[in-house]
Structure 1
């Protein structure tokens, strides 16, 4: 009997050890140390909207690069199922104006939830889609990734154009982007109307470099769970 008891204790201890073992944190990006080295921001093609049932809820999964037609596809998908409660999203961004428009589409449906599930990343124009939710959830392990707040539509093109340029060229373009950001009143108004703290702009977005330089390659910032609450990205109450 004593042997059986010891065996039971050993198995119980092993089970507890397994239950308590947390998965290792993802590797961090050396150039953007607040962010994962390999963000899961979805497929590298035009964003798709797929209906699904998760935990008994009707949800829409938005996955891919935001294009001009996304707001219309999103609205059609929500209209097609009156039981849709949440929009789950992962995206590396895309068309900034379409991101704003999609966020407004979501906000037009009272009570609609937006969610970044664990392991998924929402970056750039995706931020504005996510902000449209009446309620918003960045699940633990989900990544809300931001960069310089700017009206420039094609950051990738700008960065490619200076690959062979001088450090001074990169600096000047960065200053132009900074000035553009400070004048982005339309997007600023969008964030405020969606219930986001102004401090997200002044304390985080405005402080990111628009274009990487040889001295500092960091252009992105990923908010912690404390920060998504601090800046009301994930509000504790309905914001609509």
Structure 2
């Protein structure tokens, strides 16, 4: 009876684990902790005896300037802890470069926290980087083609306007891809993260291509050098 109860318990636990996955994006959990929906807050704190900066919320254009000021204001800061659903892509890249300008700064995604979209690039700015087991580094395809309402309105205006908009989107997308590639090289992350993972996600969800998000495993984080160091704590 004890063995049967134990087996049933394992089956139930496995069922709960499976239920926690997102059926549309199967590498990811159904729910994430991205922190607040408001602009990213930067809060100095002490965790496990170390001074850390809790960076939580949406990434906006003001973040790079605010982030530099917050780091410079506390000479004891050793880590930046991140949770964010993303936001301004250019600001994310710029914020990552701010972090990299402080040698030795460690970026961490704690267990239970998630870092998505533009947050990926903030995180990769860390001179050292850790994604704790239970933390989520969540990627997608960066694109400018999600402006459906604008596209539809422009098409209604006529062929010339639509062609002009498509040209602008293509140019912006090409520049974004170039910027992302350059950023990964500077941060020591494999460019294969773009070609093998990010760019293989669907830009727009459809029946044929439902997955728009991908959560990297611990093995993948190391394979692409997103996490270049072993956890030591």
TM-score past 0.5 threshold: yes
TM-score range, shorter chain: 0.7 to 0.9
Mapping 1:1-240, distance limit 5 Å = 25=17, 27-150=20-143, 152=144, 155=146, 158=147, 180=173, 184-236=177-229
Could you say if the C-alpha distance between residues 88 and 103 of structure 1 is closer, same or farther in structure 2, counting changes exceeding 3 Å? same
Could you say if the C-alpha distance between residues 161 and 121 of structure 1 is closer, same or farther in structure 2, counting changes exceeding 3 Å? farther
* TM-score, with structure 2 as normaliser: 0.80
* SS in structure 1 of the partner of residue 220 of structure 2: helix
Could you say if the C-alpha distance between residues 160 and 123 of structure 1 is closer, same or farther in structure 2, counting changes exceeding 3 Å? farther
2:159 aligned residue: none
| Kept after mapping to 2: 8 A contact 1:115/1:139 | yes
Look at both structures and tell me which one has the larger radius of gyration over its CA atoms. 1
Residues in 1 aligned to 2:150 and 2:23: alpha-carbon distance in whole angstroms? 24
Mark the runs of 5 or more structure 1 residues left unpaired by the alignment.
Answer: 1-20, 164-172
Could you say if the C-alpha distance between residues 198 and 28 of structure 1 is closer, same or farther in structure 2, counting changes exceeding 3 Å? same
| Kept after mapping to 1: 8 A contact 2:130/2:229 | no
Could you say if the C-alpha distance between residues 181 and 117 of structure 1 is closer, same or farther in structure 2, counting changes exceeding 3 Å? farther
Aligned residues: 210
Mark the runs of 5 or more structure 2 residues left unpaired by the alignment.
Answer: 1-12, 153-165
* SS in structure 2 of the partner of residue 201 of structure 1: helix
* SS in structure 2 of the partner of residue 232 of structure 1: coil
| Kept after mapping to 2: 8 A contact 1:47/1:66 | yes
Q: Cα RMSD over matched residues?
A: 3.2
| Kept after mapping to 2: 8 A contact 1:118/1:142 | yes
* SS in structure 1 of the partner of residue 195 of structure 2: helix
1:183, CA displacement in angstroms?
A: 6.8
1:140, CA displacement in angstroms?
A: 0.3
